[in-house]
Amino acid sequence: MMNPFEKSVENAWCPGCGNFFILKAMQDAFEAEGLRPQDVYVLSGIGQAGKLPHYINTNGFNGLHGRAFPAAFGAHVANPNMKIVINSGDGDSYGEGGNHFLHGVRRNIDILHLIHDNQVYGLTKGQASPTTALEQITTLQRTGVRNIPIRPLLLALSLGATFVARGFAGYREQLTELIRAGLHHRGYAFIDILQPCPSFNPVNTYAWYRENSIPLPEDHDPTDWEKALLLASREDKLHLGIFYQAESLTFLDRVKYLDGPLFKKKRTPRDIEKYFR
């Protein structure tokens, strides 16, 4: 039987792109959770990762570059019963959308945020992104990157994210389980997904990630924030798994509705006339 989240449309990603594996992991996770396409809303900005809502059978939205967070926030407040998933790239979330990312984490909105982290801007032909390594040569930075890269997990942990994880597109089964865990988490769930870009990043390949990544220690306690910081700060090996998870009040716990969420209200065109006077 066909996965209900699969969609028969032409795909514009390059052959070998890690996005294919992330898309499949999302489809598998949604199906395994017993969700229906109408239960899920996938929102994105601009970029190769931003194309994903076109290729998955759910409610979908493409926003401006880096602006998926405000749209996802509005969708969640309007209908908190729907599973809201932000799907974006490292440039989209940490570059153009950096300020929205910072304040979205602080609100602890009950959404899942998946970042396709390939360390380049893949849509615009491979210039450095906020996560590109120092001195790495790119299609634009021909003498090497001069900026210190953002370290996403440390940033999310320092901002107070209540679910922080890292996956790898090449380990699809593990990534599927991370996405399922993020869907179950009540609050903001952040997953940075290491993703090769075979067209524009010859450094961080599938082989490179397999050689330089390891699972989190079996005895790791995801409620230990300080230990999570230490593991996230390691640069010799990239750990994969759930670094940190904690229960905390969500945005809607702290800000009560006056008369219920928008999707339960019956409106007519006359109800909004007062806003145009």
DSSP string, 102-134: HHHHHHT-S-EEEEEE-SEETTTTSEE-TTSPT
Q: Which secondary-structure segment (H or E) carries 77?
A: helix 68-78
Contacts of 256 (CB under 8 A, 6+ apart): none
Which strands make up the sheet holding 238-245, listed edge to edge?
59-62, 40-44, 83-89, 112-117, 189-194, 163-168, 238-245, 213-215
Which residue has better confidence, 115 or 273? 115
Indicate the domain borders of the chain: 19-276
Tens-digit pLDDT profile for residues 54-93: 999 999 999 998 899 999 999 999 999 999 999 999 999 9
- The pLDDT score that the predictor gives to residue 260 is 72
- The CATH architecture assigned to 19-276 reads 3-Layer(aba) Sandwich (3.40)
Per-residue pLDDT for 210 more than 80?
Answer: yes
- The pLDDT score that the predictor gives to residue 53 is 94
Angstrom distance (rounded) from CA 65 to CA 63: 7
Mean pLDDT of the residues in the chain:
92
Angstrom distance (rounded) from CA 136 to CA 94: 18
Q: Where residue 267 falls among pLDDT bands split at 50, 70, 90?
A: confident
pTM over 0.85: yes
